Amino acid sequence: MAAAFTAPSAAGAAPPRPLLAMAGVEKRFDRGTLALSGLDLTVEAGAFVSLLGPSGCGKSMILRLMAGLAAPTGGTITWAGASRPRLSFVFQEPTLMPWASVLDNVLLPLKVARPAPAAALAKAREALAG
């Protein structure tokens, strides 16, 4: 899947620094399956971007790479600023833990973010009460 997008800049204005730049990104799995190859994507701050394509073409992998949930096997991913911003997205497949309680499923992303346990529990209970 190869894609490139750059939002147009105002006439005469210096082009803004991209919020995200993916250049020549490749993702190959350990068993050799090539998920992405030659992906170039530039996203400016404030841009609205949609990833469209058939099932299995790599849309979710692009999101996983952006969020740092997977590492590219080639190319570069560069974020403006000192580090990757905090990102969230909803997986296309259910990712709940069926053996865990509703509260434990709600607590999972909060535990990953590593807030104080009491604060995480309070946020989870607030979300469930909402």
Per-residue pLDDT at 29: 92
Read off the CATH number of the domain in which 58 is found: 3.40.50.300
Q: Whole domain around residue 121: which residue ranges?
A: 96-130
pLDDT tens, 108-129?
777 766 667 788 788 888 888 8
pLDDT tens, 42-63?
999 888 888 898 888 899 899 8
61 in the same domain as 13: yes
Task: Give the list of residues 6+ apart from residue 3 with CB closer than 8 angstroms, or none.
Answer: 39, 40, 41, 51
In three-state form (DSSP H/G/I as H, E/B as E, the rest C), the secondary structure along 57-73 is CCHHHHHHHHHCCCCCC
Numbers of helices and strands, H then E, in the chain: 3, 3
**Residue that the structure tokens 């490139």 belong to:** 4
47 in the same domain as 14: yes
Q: Say how far apart CA 21 and CA 93 lie, in whole Å.
A: 27
**Residue 80 DSSP symbol:** S
108 in the same domain as 45: no
70 in the same domain as 18: yes
Domain count for the chain, please give it.
Answer: 2
